[in-house]
Amino acid sequence: MEKFILKSNENRSFTFREGAALIRSNETGNLRIDVDYSAAFGGGERYHTVNLKGHRINIEVEEKFCEQFDKSYCPIPFFLTDNGFGLYADTGHPINFAFEDDFILVDLPLGTEITLFSGTTAEIISDYMSLFGQPVSPPEYTFLPWISANHWDTQEKVEQQIELLKRYDFPAGVVVLEAWSDEATFYIFNGAKYTAKSEGYLTYEDFSFPEDGPWSNPKAMIEKLHEAGLKVMLWQIPVYKKQEASETISSQNEIDRQKSVKNGFCVHQENGAPYTIPTGNWFAGSMIPDFTNEVTKKDWFAKRQYLLDIGIDGFKTDGGEFIYRDDLLFSNGMTGSEMKNRYPQSYTAAYTEFLSENHILFSRAGFSGQHMTPILWAGDQKSTFSELRSQLRAGLSAAMSGIVFWGYDIGGFAGPIPNSDLYLRATQMATFCPVMQWHSEPDGGQFSAIMASEDLENERSPWNIAKRSGDEKLLERTHFYHKLREKLLSHIVSEAQKSVENNRPLMVPLAYDYMNDKITHNMTDEFIFASNFLVAPIITANTSGRDVYLPEGHWENYWTKEKFDGKQWVHFEHEWHIPVYQKVAG
C-alpha cells in the first residue's frame, strides 16, 4: 500500500503487480490515472453492472424505491483493476469515478487521503478491508432461512408463523418484524399503554398491553419464538419523526423531539437550527439523530435497551440516506457534504456498538467499512426477473467492494405478487447466498398511488405463493431448497468463519478467483459461494436450462456427480433445478 494526500497539479507514478500507473491531479484536485487495464470492479453495491469499465459511477448514498440502476444505497470510493491496481479515497463527499478505455478519472476534493494498492484481487480487497478492521462474524442462526412480511402486524399473525413452519416442515432461524412499532418513536410496540416520560427512560414494566391490542404480550411472544428456534429482529429508522396531521400524535415522540433539540442530539444546520429532511423525501420534516455524538448514542439506545432486555436479537436498520444539504454540522466537526456518505455507516456502527456479538443487524445503506457492521441487504425491488438480475449484480459488485455478508428479498419486495417461476428461481439463488430471506411490502402496495400491488395479502411465503399461483409443485420444490440450505448449514458456517479470518466475501463473482481468465470479467450470472460451490442461477423466465462456464480446475455437477474439466462451457438442463457445480481434485 502507498498513501498520499491529494494536492493540486501533482504527478506521481505507482508500480503495481502487473504494470505502472501515472497519476496526475489538476488545480482542483481531480485525478487522471493512466493505466492499461481490461476490467475494473468495486464502487460499492451496484445494480446495473459488475465490471465498471466503460461506466461513470457516482459515489453517493441515494434512496431509490425499486429499479435502482446506477444509484446505490451503499457506494464505496474503492476500485481495483484486473491487472493488480487498486485505489481507495478516504472522503465522505459525493464523488465520481469514470472508467474510460485506457485511463480512469476520479473527481476528488483537495486534501483527500488516497491509498493505492498492488496485488491479486483477493489481496487488494483484503488490504482495503484492513484499513477499517476485521469483519464481524454473524452467529450461526444467521445462515438459516429468514422469514418476514410487512403483513405481520399483530402478535397473532407472528405466532401463527410457528405453526405454519411446522405444518409445511420449513426450517428457519430468524423472523424479522417490520410492522411492530407505533410508527412514531420506533421503539414502542404499537398499541402499548403507558405514561410518557420526560425524565429517564421507559422500561418494559412501564407498558401495559391490552388483550385485544395488536401485541398482547411481546415478551411472551419472543420467548415462544425462541422456543421454536427463531431469533427475532425489529425494524428501525433513524429519525425523530415529524408525524402527519392524519396520525395520532405520540406524546412520547413529541417529548423526544423536544429533547433532541434542547440537548443537541439531532443533526443541525450550520446556523444552529435543527436539520429536517426536505419535502419530497422519505420521512420529510423529521429530524435525524447525530450518531457522531456520544451523548446522542447514549440517549438513543437507552430508549431501546428494554427491547434487548426482553430478548430481541437484532435490528433491521433501514434508511440512513437522509443527508440532503451541505450546510449541516455534526458533533465530529464534519459538514453535511462530508457526512453525506458517512452518515449511514455512523448509524449502523452505533447499533453494532450497542449490540453484543450474538446479535445481528440487517442494513440497507452503508459506506466504506461496511464489513464492520454486517449484514447488508439489497433494499427494495419489484417482483420481476429483471429485478432479480439486478439483485444478483448488486451482490457481486458488493463482494468486490469488501462486503462479506449480503442478502436480498426472495421474489422481490414490491408490486404484483411473483409468479411461481420467478419465486422458485429466486429461492434457488438465495439458497446459495449469505442470507436467504423472503419478505414483502405492506398489503396493497408500498406506494399504492404509483405502483399498487392490488393484493390484499401479498405475503411472499412459499405457501402463500403456492396457493396464489395454483402451482401444486412449488411448495415441494421450495421446500427442497430450504431443506438443502439446512443441510449445508455447517459448511456455510465454517466458510463464513474463514471469510472473516481471511477477509474474503462469502459470495464472489468468478472474476474474484479467476481474474486472469478474461471470460470471467463480464460474467454477471455465475458466482462462487462458500468457497467451492459454483452457482449459475436461472434468472430468465420460463427457462429449464442454460449454458454454464466452468473456469480452470475440475468440476462436478452437484446433482448428477458428472465430472468436467474447466475452461469450457457446458450445458445444463433440468425441469426445475438450477446449475450447481463443486470444485474437486483432479
Contact in structure between 189 and 196 (CB atoms under 8 Å): no
Going by DSSP bridges, is the β-strand pair 95-99/103-107 parallel, antiparallel, or unpaired? antiparallel
* Residue 160 is assigned to a structural domain of this protein: no
* 291 and 187 within one domain: yes
The pLDDT tens digits for 38-84 are 999 999 999 999 999 999 999 999 999 888 899 999 999 999 999 99
* 251 and 349 within one domain: yes
Domain end marker among 304, 337, 367 = 367
Whether 527 shows a pLDDT value over 80: the answer reads yes
Per-residue 3-state assignment (H helix, E strand, C coil) for 310-354: CCCCEEEECCCCCCCCCCEECCCCCEHHHHCCCHHHHHHHHHHHH
Residue 16: the pLDDT is: 95
Give the domain CATH number at 522.
Answer: 2.60.40.1180
The pLDDT tens digits for 81-94 are 999 999 999 999 99
Distance, C-alpha 12 to centroid of its chain: 36
Give me the catalytic one of 107, 178, 256, 321.
321
The pLDDT tens digits for 1-18 are 999 999 999 999 999 999
* 79 and 187 within one domain: no
Residue 357: the pLDDT is: 84
* 170: DSSP letter: -
Going by DSSP bridges, is the β-strand pair 174-177/146-148 parallel, antiparallel, or unpaired? parallel
Give the domain CATH number at 243.
Answer: 3.20.20.80
The pLDDT tens digits for 194-235 are 999 999 999 999 999 999 999 999 999 999 999 999 999 999
* 350 and 285 within one domain: yes
Average pLDDT over residues 549-562: 98
Look up cell 444552529; give the residue. Answer: 272
Average pLDDT over residues 365-394: 97
565 or 441: which leads in pLDDT: 565
* 119 and 8 within one domain: yes
Looking at the chain, the number of H-run helices and the number of E-run strands are 15, 29
Average pLDDT over residues 309-317: 98
Cβ neighbourhood burial of 449 (10 Å; 0-12, 13-18, 19+): exposed
Average pLDDT over residues 488-502: 98
Contacting residues for 94 by C-beta, under 8 A, at least 6 apart: 58, 59, 60, 337, 340, 341
Give the domain CATH number at 72.
Answer: 2.60.40.1760
Mean pLDDT over the full length of the chain: 96
Domain end marker among 367, 385, 415 = 367
Residue 137: the pLDDT is: 87
* Residue 146 is assigned to a structural domain of this protein: no
* 118 and 197 within one domain: no
* Residue 148 is assigned to a structural domain of this protein: no
Give me the catalytic one of 45, 380, 471, 525.
380
Average pLDDT over residues 256-260: 98
Residue 151 phi, psi dihedral angles, 5° rounding: -60, -25
The pLDDT tens digits for 22-33 are 999 999 989 999
The pLDDT tens digits for 430-457 are 999 999 999 998 776 665 555 555 556 7
Neighbours of 37 (CB within 10 A): 21
Residue 454: the pLDDT is: 57
**Cell numbers that stand for 394 in this block:** 448488486
* Residue 167 is assigned to a structural domain of this protein: no
* Residue 399 is assigned to a structural domain of this protein: no
Whether 586 shows a pLDDT value over 80: the answer reads no
Average pLDDT over residues 304-330: 97
Residue 386: the pLDDT is: 97
* Residue 287 is assigned to a structural domain of this protein: yes
Whole-structure pTM value: 0.96
Which residue type does 467 have?
K
Question: How many separate domains does the chain show?
Answer: 3
Instruction: Say which range, 259-273, 454-468, 469-483, has the weakest mean pLDDT.
Output: 454-468
Per-residue 3-state assignment (H helix, E strand, C coil) for 29-97: CCEEEECCCCCEEEEECCCCCCCCCCCEEEECECCCCCCCCCCECCEEEEEEECCCEEEEEECCCCEEE
* 188 and 334 within one domain: yes
* 330 and 200 within one domain: yes
* 344 and 195 within one domain: yes
Average pLDDT over residues 564-575: 97
Residue 351: the pLDDT is: 98
* 193 and 102 within one domain: no
How sure is the predictor about 355, in pLDDT bands with cuts at 50, 70 and 90? Answer: very high
* 358 and 244 within one domain: yes
Known catalytic membership, residue 471? no
Give me the catalytic one of 45, 182, 318, 338.
318
Whether 316 shows a pLDDT value over 80: the answer reads yes
The pLDDT tens digits for 108-156 are 999 999 999 999 999 999 999 999 999 988 999 999 999 999 999 999 9
Residue 136: the pLDDT is: 86
Please calculate the CA angle 106-511-144 and round it to the nearest 5 degrees: 105
Share of the chain above pLDDT 90, in %: 94
| Rounded CA separation 515/328 (Å) | 43
* Residue 376 is assigned to a structural domain of this protein: no
* 188 and 100 within one domain: no
Known catalytic membership, residue 318? yes
Known catalytic membership, residue 380? yes
* Residue 532 is assigned to a structural domain of this protein: yes
Domain end marker among 130, 145, 161 = 130
Closest CA relative to residue 526, chosen from 494, 500, 550: 550
Full domain range(s) for residue 126: 2-130
